[in-house]
Chains A and B, each alone.
Chain A
Amino acid sequence: MAEDKLKQKISDGLNDESARIGRNRALNVIKPSMQKAVAKYPKLRDRLRAIKQYSIGHLDELLEKTTKVMKARGTKVFIANTQQEALEYIGKIVGQGLVVKSKSNAGKEIGVLPYLEAQGAKVVETDLGDRITQLDGTPASHTMAPSIHVPIERVAELFSKEVHETLHPELEELIQTARKSLRQFLLHADVGISGANAIVADTGAVVVTENEGNIRAVSSMPKIHIAIAGVEKIVPTLQDAITVIKSAAVFGVGQDIGTYISILSGPSRFENDDFAFMGEAQGPREMHVVFLKAGRDRALQLGYEESLYCINCGSCLNFCPIYAAIGEKFGYKYLGGRGAVFTAMHKHLEEAQEAGLSLCIGCQRCVEACAVGMHTPEMIARLRTSVADEKGLPLAKKVVFHGLSAGKLPGWIKLAKTFQGLGRTGVGDGMAKLRLPIENIPADRLVPVLAKESFSEAVKRRQTPTKNLQKRVAFFAGCVVNYVRPDLGLSLMDLLEGQGVEVVTFGEESCCGIPALQSGDEADARAMARHNVETMAQENFEHLLFVCPTCATTVLQEWPRLLQDEPELARKAAGIAEKSIDISSYLVNVLGISAPETAVPLTATYHDSCHLARGLNVTEEPRNLLKSIPGVQLVEMKEADVCCGFGGTFSMSYYNLSRRINEDKIKHIEATHADCVVAACPGCVLHLKDGVYHAGGKQKVKHIVEILAEAYKKSGDK
């Protein structure tokens, strides 16, 4: 059910072309600005994270202090344990009056606008973008630029109707009209409702930031001001709040600071008590702060406090390939992967699934982009484990993962190889089209052809040279190399032996466990880790090499964690993790390989795989290796480090989404005019081949090991 709703949302999102155009327009400006701004303030993220860590760690105490100080300064404080309580409190104040409202995630969270309208109040959005979408009746297409999908002609239409005049689609005229029109509402409104970017415990202040000046107006012109804020907005001092505000500007839109910051510590009052009898001056008579606790308590109880560090800047969305593809369909109230986590805390896992808990492809660009460095993909993985624990896995996945952990894969492969000729048609380069669609895999999608001989079978037949080998490394092949691209493993062995390095392999290894883990099946992943660690512990080697960075990050980051309750194995896993290294880093940093003599004439562009670039922080070594090969011309593509859309099982569960992300990548590749795209991940290679094929392109897709093997073949012994 949740899965069906989700599939529909994906479909709708992929088909909404005008939202996508608007989104891209905003993103193309925001992203470079943000990157420039972040580079200017290198200490900002750490400082903000420290503030948030402290604040969330002392939340009860800070809430108590805030309430005390606010009340002493005349602000009315209401702590709402549920959404309904918050709505009722606000509803009682508003009645059927006129409300002017500024942008508020907390307000959207509780659904304050429809609630108030249902009881007969009139609510006017004062942010221009929100007002335009309000008049237009369409949803916002981007958090920072909600009305970007509405053309100026339509804006002119909407405001013409609003002010009963014929307006031209001219920017200046429309801005002035909107200003006058909204100012009338502001002057006559009974209540102003805003959110809060931060709350200061020391001085009992609500802190808001903006560019238009409407929040200043909403919080000063009506006689009553209500600010809605989640309790996670509280920070200790004014200086802390300034850091939050600056971070929101820098990370969210690439501004060094918003145009206006307002620090509001109570209703309008007189410094001079002799005037107090008068009531209020140029400001509200009453100020209310409604704190939301729902969901936040749960996040703390369940150990997801990091999700409360979020300052709602939207930086993650600007870099998320899923958001780029389907926009606000990813998430619920709060958008993106962070939205799925939030939904799990506020509602149930069912709603979190609808919000897109399984849509995070694990590329980790959000972690890089985040103002507080939240590990959202990790939190999502934990929640998926909870889903699997609670509901179990879909049958197909259960069978597959259990089979993997029980070492059944080799048997299945043998079976599949026997029949694969029946089910598909080859298209060359090791890929094939299915004759019929299977489950989520459409017939026109390219699938890899299973190798005639598995890697371990090939190794058994292979003659290993014994002299001139001074070093000893082990090689974990992974499933793709084992059964689809044994040539990559063999090329690696040739390459290393030519450099005087002996390579040991482990026969029929288990899968590293990442597909099971990504689906929340920790038990099977653990069994696979256990089997692999026990096998590896029987060999001696200086380093453990990988041509698949996904396997590498799993070994490095997940195996020790999965086995932490079995001390002996945990120790061995830690030892193995310490020796683990990807092939490019090994060649450049450990072996110090010298440039090859053989030329490989090629114009190549390099694609950064997510697990290599962000999982292992390796970006320069593969490029340096390629550049050192005579004849290779390396051209950088735009957005080289954006996910290709593979995501392992993701590309099977959500192929249409996977394909859309791939298409964007292929466009960037085509723009370089390179004849070859090189990646250091076998999964990316498969997916890029599918993408190039469907774009009708001629580019070759190679794993870096293939190119290195060619370049070092005749250079031979060092």
Chain B
Amino acid sequence: MNRLQQITKVRQELLLDKPDLANQVRAIRENAVANMPDLIQTATETLQQKLAKVYLAKDPAEVADILKDLLKGEKRVSRAYSNTLDEVEFDAIMADMGIEVSLTKLEEIVRQHMALPNCRHPHLLVMDQPRQVIEEGLRRFIGHPEEMAPTELGQLVTEQIKQNILRSEYGVTGADCIVAENGVLALAEDEGNLRAVSNLPYKHVAIVGIEEIVTTAEEAVTVIQAASIFGAGRISPTYVSLIAGPSRTADIEFRMAYGMHGPKEVHVILLDNGRKALRHKDAGALLKCINCGSCYEWCRELAAQQQWTGATMTPKGFALGIIQGRLRPPKLKASMGEFCCPVGLSAESVPDSLSKI
């Protein structure tokens, strides 16, 4: 059974215990899209109250301007993987500035070093690759061409990544959700590299789409758990980190100081890049999508049909691709089966909404 088949099987088992989950998540995401302007306003205020710096970026060019200002003079940044960082072509912006980018997610490292094709799955970056390919990619990463025992390889790779992070003044991530009520970033993962990137360096930059803003922390963990069950076949991610601004302590004479163990500065770039425009069209429903990957196979077929390349294969990925002018609007074709969705999108509603953009 391949990975995607495994995910489908486990998803069904897990959902038996949680018959209400999809309804809850759909309601949360519907509210998030419906109230987006208010949520952006509230989140900006609460993030700032928690002492994060907040920037609003209309498009990747504005993101580049913000980063040029912020990261001037830096030699290296470390980053985790995020669809949003892909969307703004973060690595290209860094290359322009002459800043080295250290990858920290193992799949991405292997994909880069072995020049593997980008299967455009929202979080499975390497699929169905033989073990030798993976091992070789990792050996190239640490610059060790000869074969070695896998656990030894593992330890050296892990150590190298950690050193890269420790040498970076800035750690860059996306976020799964922003919690408007409390000014909190919510980040989910399995490896632990997101925690390292957002805790070890002195400064943390998060680039987040404005559709990710929900109201409460409870909503955020509900969405994150649903993404894990629907899209990864797991009851929850291994690590979920909620971050409210910079690290702080008042342990010395009750005087507040920042950057005790975690970052001293947190910068949040809220990205529009067509989301507000999508909302105004009848295609706003597509912004409910949480990029879980549950419908990946259906999306892959749709992309093949439409001859779409270069977009993350999710309803939201396609919607953003079209509004940003990277994908042609869809030509209606025959429908291709069903898929399981935590936010109430369907094989019927998605092509319909996409055609309205």
Contacts and interface: CB of A to CB of B under 8 A. Distances in A.
A182 B261 contact: yes
Interface string B186-202: 00001111011001000
A178 B259 CA distance: 10
B252 A202 contact: no
A275 B125 CA distance: 12
A132 B252 contact: yes
B243 A259 contact: yes
Nearest to B80: A282
A212 B247 contact: yes
Contacts of A262: 195, 239-242
A151 B253 CA distance: 6
Contacts of A171: 252, 255, 257
B41 interface: no
B252 A147 contact: yes
A598 interface: no
A283 B195 contact: yes
Contact of B240 (A155, A176, A263, A272): A263
B209 interface: no
B218 A242 contact: yes
A216 interface: yes
Nearest to A246: B217
A213 B260 contact: yes
B182 to A, nearest CB: 4
A203 interface: yes
A257 B153 contact: no
A270 interface: yes
A179 interface: yes
B150 A260 contact: no
Contact-residue bracket for chain B: 35 or more
Contact-residue bracket for chain A: 35 or more
Give the residue among B131, B182, B247, B263 with the most A Cβ atoms within 10 A: B247
Interface stretch (B95-103, B156-164, B308-316): B156-164
B3 interface: yes
Contacts of A212: 247-249, 260-262
A145 B256 CA distance: 12
Contacts of A150: 252
Interface in A151-206: 151-152, 155, 171-172, 174-176, 178-179, 182-183, 202-205
A278 B153 contact: yes
Interface string B1-43: 0010000000000000000000000000000000000000000
B335 interface: no
A268 interface: yes
A420 interface: no
B158 A277 contact: no
Give the residue among A69, A182, A246 with the most B Cβ atoms within 10 A: A246
Nearest to A129: B251
A283 B239 contact: yes
B191 A268 contact: yes
A599 interface: no
A521 interface: no
A501 B347 CA distance: 79
A405 interface: no
Interface in B224-244: 225, 232, 234-244
B154 interface: yes
A243 interface: yes
A220 B190 contact: no
Contact of A259 (B124, B158, B235, B247): B247
A220 B104 CA distance: 15
Contact of B261 (A73, A203, A217, A245): A217
A592 to B, nearest CB: 44
Contacts of A281: 106, 158, 161, 191-193
Contacts of B195: 216, 220, 262, 282-283
Contacts of B196: 220, 282
Interface string B118-140: 00000111101101001000100
A472 B158 CA distance: 85
A203 B232 CA distance: 14
A595 to B, nearest CB: 46
Interface in B176-228: 181-182, 184, 190-193, 195-196, 199, 217-218, 221-222, 225
Given A25-B254, A278-B154, A216 B221 contact: no
B307 interface: no
B169 interface: no
A274 B239 CA distance: 19
B172 to A, nearest CB: 15
B249 A211 contact: yes
B245 interface: yes
A280 interface: yes
A155 B252 contact: yes
Contacts of A429: none
Contacts of B334: none
Q: Which 4 A-B pairs have the closest CB atoms?
A: A213-B262, A283-B192, A129-B251, A213-B261
27 contacts: A151-B253, A155-B252, A171-B257, A179-B261, A212-B247, A212-B249, A212-B262, A213-B260, A213-B261, A239-B218, A243-B218, A245-B217, A260-B244, A260-B262, A261-B241, A267-B238, A269-B190, A270-B191, A271-B234, A272-B126, A274-B126, A274-B131, A278-B138, A279-B154, A281-B158, A282-B158, A282-B195
Given A129-B249, A238-B225, 4 more contacts: A148-B254, A171-B257, A202-B235, A282-B158
